[in-house]
Structure 1
Amino acid sequence: MPEGLHLHRTGSGPAVLWIHGYTMDSTTWQPLWDRLPGYTHIGVDLPGHGGSAPLSPGLTLPALAGQLADVLKETGARSVVALSFGSMSALQLAIQEPSSLDRLVLAAPTLAGTPNEDSARVRYQQLAMLYRMVGPGEQLADLWMQSPPDIFTGTQRHPALRAALREVVARHSWAELGNRAMDTLTAHRHTPEDLRRITARALVVLGDEDMPAFVRNAELLRDTVPDCRLETLKETGHLPLLERPEACAELIAAHLS
């Protein structure tokens, strides 16, 4: 197993690799896993998240995808489900190792090198300033979960989910704000030519209330990846897999089968 990556395994059956969003970890997947019996669910904590080692300032997106490819080989997983920031590494994995994947699920998809929401960029700058002042903890979690950007807005309909996510985000180390490790990881760029190399059958899941940048990403994937279907969920925000686990479990089960 790649050194420094923490895996959370549960269940039995065909293996599926799950990649979480920024400031989260693999514990956030449990409600979906409970609704998807018959699989071995393997949640990976990305570098700098959960139980994994800190994010190295020199780690590139292709190098991270290489680590995830090793996880696929060692676990036998040939399907990947990824959310938001996690979908960036899942896409790179599908581009870089097309023969390793049969099924790909991308929710609120993030493409490397595409324009982000202006409000998200401003919030990240604010987080870096607050981190220098007070360090990690609940203040950063509360600032990160404010709107705009509308990353967590959809969780306001689901108070228990929002409280659980706040606990996870409050545990995040935020070390990448101090060493600028995210700069190298996000410097990569996904081109349409890259996306056309994906051979896995892809499902993109989007909330109808998601931010415009992610709507554009979803439509680009639908129109560019050779075998790709887009499903939009009503009254759903940026975190559809977490906000709507029942509906998403049905979509994922059908896609994986």
Structure 2
Amino acid sequence: MPEALHLRRRGSGPAVLWIHGYTMDSTTWQPLWDRLPGWTHIGIDLPGHGGSAPLPPGLPLTALAGQLAEVAKETGARSVVALSFGSMSAIQLAIQEPGLVDNLVLAAPTLAGTPNEDSARVRYQQLSMLYRMVGPGEQLADLWMQSPPDIFTGTQRHPALRASLREVVARHTWAELGNRAMDALTSHKHTAEDLRRITARTLVVLGDEDMPAFVRNAELLRATVPDCQLETLKETGHLPLLERPDASAELIAAHLA
């Protein structure tokens, strides 16, 4: 098991790997786990998040996917659920190790090397400047959760969820802003040829109010991955699994079954 990755386990039954979004951690999955009994849920804290070791500069996406593959092998997990930034590494895992992943759920999918929202790029630059001025803490969390970009906009309908996510984001170290450790991860590019190598039964979950870049990613996955279906949740933003846990759990349960 990669020592750099912190795992959080709940439940019993067949194992499922869960990979969170940027600045979050595996604690965000608990509402979904409560709605999905009969599985061993294994939440992975990505490098630089939660209880995992810092993200080292220069770590390529292929190496991160290799770490996830080790976890999958040692836990026997053959299903993966991933959200937003986390879906980028889940996709790479399914590309690199197609024999390891039977079922794949990608919410608000992120593809490496595809155009991001301009507002997200601008906000990341603002976060970097604020980090240099004040360091990590609540100011960065509040700036990150502002719109645009509309990453957290959908949580405004769910005040309790928004408050709990703010607590998680406020714990984030933001060290990657100081050492540019994200550069190697995001320099990778997923091609159509790569996506066609995915053999897992794939479910893409999209909020109908998500940002255009993620809608394009979802459509590309549906058109390219050999066994892929797309489900869209109404009145839902960029974090569909968290904003709509009841509807999401129903979709995930049906897909994993």
Distance in structure 2 (CA, Å) of the matches to 1:102 and 1:28: 24
* Aligned match of 2:142: 142
| Contact 2:58–2:183, Cα closer than 8 Å, also in 1 | no
Q: Secondary structure at the match of 1:229?
A: strand
Q: Are 1:62 and 2:62 an aligned pair?
A: yes
Partner secondary structure for residue 231 of structure 2:
strand
Q: Distance in 2 between matches of 1:71 and 1:133?
A: 37
Between the aligned partners of 2:65 and 2:227, the Cα distance in structure 1 is 21
Could you tell me how far 1:151 is from its partner in structure 2? 0.1
Partner residue in 2 for 1:20: 20
In percent, how many aligned pairs have the same letter?
89
Query: What CA distance in whole angstroms lies between the structure 2 residues aligned with 1:176 and 1:22?
Result: 11
Partner of 2:108: 108
Q: Match of 1:121?
A: 121
Give 1:6 shift: 0.1
**Deviation of the 1:145 alpha carbon:** 0.0
The 5-angstrom pairing of residues 202-241 of structure 1 reads: 202-241=202-241
- RMSD value over aligned CA atoms? 0.2
1:22 positional shift: 0.0
What SS is found at the alignment partner of 2:54? coil
The answer on 1:171 being equivalent to 2:171 is: yes
CA distance in 2, matches of 1:68, 1:174: 22
- Displacement of 1:108 in angstroms is 0.1
d(CA) in 2 for partners of 1:175, 1:138: 15
List structure 1 runs of 4+ shifted beyond 6 angstroms: none
Partner AA of 1:80 in structure 2: V
Residue identity opposite 1:192 in structure 2: A
Q: Which residue of 1 aligns with 2:44?
A: 44
User: How far, CA to CA, are the matches of 2:241 and 2:91 in structure 1?
Assistant: 17
SS at match of 2:156: helix
* TM-score of the superposed pair, with normalisation by structure 2: 1.00
Unaligned runs of 5+ in 2: none
CA distance in 1, matches of 2:195, 2:95: 7
* Distance in 1, Cα, partners of 2:3 & 2:69: 13
- Deviation string, structure 1 residues 59-104 (Cα, Å, up to 9, x no partner): 1000000000000000000000000000000000000000001000
Distance in 1, matches of 2:73 and 2:212, equals: 36
